[in-house]
Structure 1
Amino acid sequence: LVEGMNVEDLIYAAGGLTEKAYKLSAEINRTDFDDQQKRIQARYEIDLSMASGREFEFKSRDVLQIRAIPEWVENHFVELKGEVRFPGVYPIHKDDELRDVLKRAGGVTDYAYVPGAVFTRIELKEQQEKRLQEMQRRLAEDIAKAQLVEKDASRRSGDIGKAQELLAQLQQTPALGRLVIDLRKVLAEDLDYSIPLQNGDALTIPSRKNSVTIIGEVQLPISQVFEPKLDYTDYIERSGGTTDKADEDRIYIIKANGGVQLPDSGHWFASNDAQMEPGDTVVVPLDADKLDQLVLWRDVSQIFY
């Protein structure tokens, strides 16, 4: 504070106003003391668009608060990749939905495999990274406990070795931040199915697929040519069948859109299609009960898959 310092001087010293500054109303809070040394507080509203507002002189301990324009938002963007007619980065407004941006991009091409679309979000990626880190920590602790209490040395060596291998894979597995969506409903303009957009969202639409993948506790984890007449058990048999550590009661299918099907029970998670489709993945999980002390194996392996 220097003698005669006013609002204009302080704004200049602070580098000037930003583009989102609300000029019609700024606030000055003042604390002063009277002759009896009693505190007196006052508040003033000034108009920064007027010369009189900028000429307001400061006293010691004054505070100038300049607010942002109501509902001001920075520029936000989403990215469309793959089989869309005009892929690229698109600016979005606050109330834009995925269907709106797809229209601006000309829709999908004739080669698009709509069920296999991958939609990712930065916020979800950060959440998933935390989950992966927590699972890595818990698995590492579980391995350490198993090394201390396992009595059968030969079994301990095999089980812990597999656990350490899985832990190493988990540590190198990036979080995708994927949000499971049904792009077919979006393209059909189902008004009951909306996907509001956030800054940094990305949609990738792959070209047509003609394969299914089998992973987990099978003799030969491979991808196979999709055949409409086959069910998940046929693909498992073509992969050599299950291993002796497979949990056959908990086999599940990851659909091309990211949804999960439990085929034996008929229960579904985020997916409504009960048929095997191109791009689906059959997962044969590990039976954690067959591995001493490693109680988190089933959960960890499913997250990894």
Structure 2
Amino acid sequence: MPADYPLGVGDELMIRGTGSIDIDYRAKIDRNGQISIPTIGPVSLAGVKAGDAESVIRNAVATMYKGVTISVNFGKLRAITVYVVGQANRPGTYTVSSLSTLVTTLFASGGPNVNGSMRHLQVKRGGKTVADLDLYAFIAKGDKSADIKLQDGDSIYIPAATGHVALVGKVNTPAIYELRSATDTIESILDIAGGMPIVADPRRAYLERIDASKNQPRSVEQFALNEAGLKRTLKNGDVLNVTSITPDFSNAVILRGNVDQAIRAPFLPGMHVSDLIPNREYLITRNSIKRQNGAVSTGENDKATNEAAGNIASRIGGLIDEINWDYAVVERINRSDLTVSLIPFNLGKVFSDPSSPDNVQLQPGDTVTIFSQQDVAVPMDKRRIFVRVEGEVKVPGVYQMTAGETLQSLLARAGGTTQDAYFFGTAFYREQVRMEQEINLEKAATKLENQLRLEQSKGAANARALSPTDAQAAEAQRLADMQLAKENIVRFRQMKPTGRIAFGLDPAERSFARLPQLKLENGDRLVIAAKPEFVHIFGSVNAEASPMWRSNTRVADYLNMAGLTVDADVENVFIMRTDGSVVARNTSAWAFGGIGGVIVMPGDSIVVPEKFDKETSWTKFTKGTREWAQIFANFGLGAAAVKTLRN
């Protein structure tokens, strides 16, 4: 309870007294402005301030009793009636607490409507205006100097707004603001808007104004927001646009690309590229450092490395992004005509011979870009080449090769092959080939999806010609088939190309000197296999198995051992050779004149597909891609892919 609150009719007091007399009394001020305390009599309190009420009551009690301690608290306070009129959101009569102020009552009534002023909220009392509140000042600055306490019978008048202006661009609070008077300046409105951020350009502001009395009502002015500009008065309908500073660095040069981190460095007179890149270590990228740091675990784990065992060998040689030392470029803007020129230079010579013309002298605004060998491919003879050789060689490992070296060079580095090496099982993998195979596999999957949609359309059209019972059965079968086909497409997408290159080796050849004279590339992998002891049979056979390899045994012999199912498509049997090639039928005859007569080599996989005339989801909608042999050959897929499709 504020100490200066004037008590009035209806206010409730709780009086307690101890001493020569005990008092515990709840009293309400009556219409005469008094309370009546038993054994004491009436006490006048109307108009008495709340802070003085206790002393007034104590003095009244002291006239009758001595040594009495009095305490006074306040209960329910009286209500007052005020009127909210004018451009109010909810005009009307309001009964509010006698402690209510102009602001609290405005919030209770919903404040001004869309046409009402927020800058002239008036309290009228006895025919006079006793308060004029600027709600902007209250909201923006917390100024409550005009927020007076209301009295019974007060009227809150909300006049119409006199005008509005808009602040756009780089101001802290862009919005539409109401003008308080015709003398409001740009400075006063910016003050309410919270001023301008640091990126605002006070040298350029644009004021759009409407003057209906002119032939061309709309006009725009440009001026600086200096002392004179801030004192300009605003008019209803004005739009003030404060621009931002130009994000251009007049004294900077930029380094970007394959570097430790892109920077914007200050330009110094006589500055050259070597000043921007003091040494080669500036060109070690953050990704390179992450790869180096990631090679060793820093926790308490027993593992000595964060990498999986199968990845360590493949990552050797890739700790640092290789720099293109022959080509880097300076981009320079000619500010007179806004053209861009490129100044290429040899980055290697910047470090080996700083006095050479390649150490370009820089100008303010230049951008220096450094490339890796992946950004701009360099000639083969300038690329680093790390190749892995595994299996039946005397010293398997990762070797750094020079440009132009071949498979034979790699085998020589590895000490040659062992006596268990199997020439026909030689496997060679290249990353670029794997990427191309992956793209082609995705194209094939998309083709299968298109065929599936076509089959769905045809099935729905054919169902219309059937009886309701047959149509229902056909639809159920169609949906089941389509679901299974979709699942097979998902499995198809899960197949991972290996990047293997099939050399088409002669099964009878034994000499590794007959390997192709293939030039090596970075990331190549050569696997010299030991001679397998088994042959694998998949597909529509009675028992998928891996029988022992027998010399001079043909496809037909192994299929007789496995047994064919009734759905076996014997005309489309194909062999996945251990050298990565695929052999399919080349004649309509079976037996020894066709693929059945092909001699099987150690490690070969014989695949027996199902007949396509069987009405199943997978076989039905894949009629356009029957040549699975071609798919497996093109994508470098192995026997694991067959299992993926069947499972």
TM range (shorter): 0.7 to 0.9
Question: What residue number does 1:269 align with?
Answer: none
Residues 214 and 221 of structure 1 are in contact (CA less than 8 Å); yes or no, is this contact kept in structure 2? yes
Indicate which of 135, 139, 152 corresponds to 2:448.
139
How much is the aligned-residue C-alpha RMSD, in angstroms? 4.1
Asked which structure has the greater CA Rg, the reply is 2
Q: Post-superposition shift, 1:189? A: 2.5
User: How many Å separate the matches in 2 of 1:88 and 1:42?
Assistant: 44
Aligned pair partner of 1:295 in 618, 623, 627:
623
**Where do 5+ consecutive residues of structure 2 fail to align?**
1-250, 252-266, 284-322, 373-377, 464-473, 589-597, 633-640, 643-647
- For 2:495, the equivalent position in structure 1 comes to 173
What is the CA distance between 1:295 and its match in structure 2?
Answer: 2.6
Q: 1:46-74 deviations in whole A, cap 9, x for unaligned?
A: 98525485997544566779999x95734
- Is 2:505 aligned against 1:240? no
Q: 1:97 aligns with which of 398, 402, 406?
A: 406
CA distance in 2, matches of 1:108, 1:42: 52
Q: Match of 1:11? A: 274
Q: Which residue of 2 aligns with 1:207?
A: 530
Of 280-289 and 158-167, the range deviating more from structure 2:
158-167
Distance 2:621 2:329 in 1: 63
Q: In 2, Cα distance between the equivalents of 1:294 and 1:77?
A: 41
Written as runs of structure 1 = structure 2, the 5 A alignment for 1:100-119 is 100-119=409-428
Determine the C-alpha separation between the residues in 2 that align with 1:125 and 1:55: 40
Q: Which residue of 2 aligns with 1:149?
A: 458
AA aligned to 1:257 is: D
TM-score for the superposition, normalised by structure 1: 0.75
Determine if contact 1:118/1:204 at 8 Å carries over to the other structure. yes
Q: Deviations over 1:98-145 (max 9, x none)?
A: 011001111111222221122111011111111222222222333343
| TM superposition shift of 1:262 | 3.0
User: What does residue range 1-305 of structure 1 map to in structure 2 within 5 Å?
Assistant: 1=251, 2-7=267-272, 10-14=273-277, 16-17=279-280, 21=325, 48=350, 49-51=353-355, 58-60=362-364, 73-150=382-459, 151=463, 152-153=474-475, 155-156=477-478, 159-160=481-482, 162-181=484-503, 182=505, 187-190=511-514, 193-244=516-567, 246-265=568-587, 275-291=599-615, 292-299=620-627, 302-303=631-632, 304-305=641-642
SS of equivalent residue, structure 1 residue 225 = coil
Greater fraction strand: 2
- Per-residue deviation, 1:216: 2.3
Q: 1:183 to 1:51 in 2, by over 3 A?
A: farther
3-state secondary structure, aligned to 2:400: strand
CA–CA distance in structure 1, aligned partners of residues 278 and 506 of structure 2: 47
Identify the structure with bigger relative contact order (alpha carbons < 8 Å, sequence gap 6+): 1
Letter in 2 for 1:163: A
What amino acid is aligned across from residue 108 of structure 1 in structure 2?
Answer: T
Count of residues in Structure 1 that have an aligned counterpart in Structure 2 = 290
Cα–Cα, structure 1 residues 86 and 57, in superposed 2: closer, same or farther, change >3 Å? Answer: closer
Are the aligned partners of 2:385 and 2:520 in contact in 1 as well (CA < 8 Å)?
Answer: no
**What is the distance in 1 between the residues matched to 2:477 and 2:369?**
68
Query: Retained in 1: the 8 A contact 2:423–2:510?
Result: no
Change in 2 beyond 3 A, CA 1:92/1:221: same
Alpha-carbon distance between aligned partners in 2 of 1:287 and 1:296, rounded to the nearest angstrom: 14
d(CA) in 1 for partners of 2:550, 2:479: 41
Identity level (%)? 24
Instruction: Give 5+ residue unaligned stretches, structure 1.
Output: 267-273
Contact persistence 1:226–1:278 (CA under 8 A):
yes
Paired with 1:170 and 1:163, the residues of 2 have a C-alpha distance of 10
Give the partner amino acid of 1:280. D
Q: Alpha carbons of 1:233 and 1:52: their partners in 2 closer, same or farther (altered >3 Å)?
A: closer
Q: CA distance change for structure 1 residues 27 and 230 in 2, over 3 Å: closer, same or farther?
A: closer
Residue deviations 1:225-255, cap 9 Å, x none? Answer: 11224311121122221442x3322222222
Instruction: Quote how far apart the aligned CAs of 1:175 are.
Output: 1.0
Q: Tell me, yes or no, if the aligned pair for 1:213 and 1:282 is still in contact at 8 Å.
A: yes
More divergent stretch after superposition (122-131 vs 145-154): 145-154
User: Are the aligned partners of 1:79 and 1:89 in contact in 2 as well (CA < 8 Å)?
Assistant: yes
Q: Normalization by structure 2: what TM-score?
A: 0.38
**Whole-angstrom distance in 2 between the partners of 1:105 and 1:92:** 12
Q: What is the deviation of 1:177? A: 0.6
